[in-house]
Structure 1
Amino acid sequence: MREFVATELCVHQARWDDMDREIGYSIAVRQEEISSAEEAQLADQLFSIDATSIAGITAKIDGLIATGEPGETSDEFPWPELRKIRSNLFQIIHQPIGHTG
């Protein structure tokens, strides 16, 4: 029985390996892991530097939302609030010169 199970496992593994090469699953998973690590490194860099402008603060909020938000329409705290803050900052940045509001 042990020999039969070992043979069946080898056959199953060979089928898996063939399909994996055909569809590229393992390569895609590895690339996703690399991309996630790069994203985390870039986010760390973004959040470790001081913003020196409203545009810089907006970029940090964008980065925070992009890396942390569970979905673009999440209504759980703090995501709607952060999206509103980002929108407010965008409006301030793009106000006509001399406008006070």
Structure 2
Amino acid sequence: MADSENSRTLSSVTRRTLLTGTTAATVAWPFGYGAGATTAPVGNAICDPALELWRAWKVACLNTAALGEKQQGLEAQLVNTVGFPCAEVHLPEKDTTLAIWWQGEIGNHFGDDFAFADIRAKAEADLAAHQARWDAEDERIGYSAAMQAERIAADREQELMDALTVTPATTLAGVAGKLNAVMRESEFFGECTDFPWSLVRSALDDIVRIARHGRAA
């Protein structure tokens, strides 16, 4: 479980990097959707529901990433202080030591063989004691609470993406927001250099260029 949770956290940090460092053309969009805007290409950008959803989604992404980074830091602190719950079992006849990470492994290794009753009991006790130390430190520093907060934020982010997917855009800015969301998600999940991502990126650049030229005119 620890590995899967850590992977989720690392993904969130990766997402924050993408949001702050890539597809940067949208940071200075020439679309007029602010309070003092004088241009609104193809409709009223101030009232474009798709654009508003995109802006909310972008904030949600950053929030998820920030919470993920916090959770990752707390996990590192927890691992350094207590270590992942584990019991070490020495097998004299094989002159080897087994690392037991969860209770089910004990049964897998030793079953109900009476000859291993003492070893099995010690492994169970050691693993339970280590888990108790982990749980106590977890509660003290708020690791599980931070992990839950990240899950909630990620769910909110997904809800906004789902809403953006089915909400018609009424402006070029809204269309650009949708394309930007597609590009960011594709970058998050992997390489986006091949078709159709190169064409999507080109279309986004076209929309930004057209809007910029329209404002200049």
Question: Retained in 1: the 8 A contact 2:192–2:198?
Answer: yes
Match of 2:129 among 11, 20, 31: 11
Separation (CA, whole Å) in 2 of partners of 1:86 and 1:9: 54
Superposed counterparts of 1:61-72, under 5 Å: 61-70=179-188
Identity of aligned residues (%): 32
| 1:38 corresponds to | 156
After TM superposition, the structure 1 stretch with the greater mean CA deviation from structure 2, 75-84 or 5-14, is: 75-84
Equivalenced residues, count: 97
Code of the residue aligned with 2:200 in structure 1: it is L
Structure with the larger strand share:
2
- Alpha-carbon distance between aligned partners in 1 of 2:130 and 2:170, rounded to the nearest angstrom: 58
**Structure 2: segments with no counterpart, 5+ residues:** 1-117
Local SS of the residue matching 2:181: helix
Deviation larger for 12-21 or 53-62: 12-21
- Flag structure 1 segments of 5+ consecutive residues without an equivalent: none
Deviation track 1:46-78 (CA, whole Å, cap 9, x = no partner) reads 111111121111111112223343369742433
- Which of 168, 178, 198 in structure 2 is aligned with 1:60? 178
Asked whether the equivalents of residues 69 and 79 of structure 1 are also in contact (C-alpha less than 8 Å), the reply is: no
* Pick aligned residue for 2:143 from 25, 36, 48: 25
1:94 maps to 2:217: no
Residue 23 and residue 43 in structure 1: after superposition, are their counterparts in 2 closer, same or farther (change >3 A)?
A: same
Q: Which has the higher contact order (CA 8 A, sep 6+)?
A: 2
TM-score if structure 1 supplies the norm length?
0.75
CA distance in 2, matches of 1:81, 1:54: 17
Aligned with 1:40: secondary structure?
A: helix
**Higher gyration radius (CA):** 2
Matching residue within 158, 165, 180 for 1:47: 165
Instruction: State the AA in 2 paired with 1:79.
Output: W
Q: In the superposition, relative to structure 1, how do residues 71 and 87 fare at CA in structure 2: closer, same or farther (>3 Å)?
A: farther
Alpha-carbon offset, residue 93 of structure 1: 0.8
Q: Match for 1:15: what amino acid?
A: R
What TM-score results when the alignment is normalised by the length of structure 2? Answer: 0.39
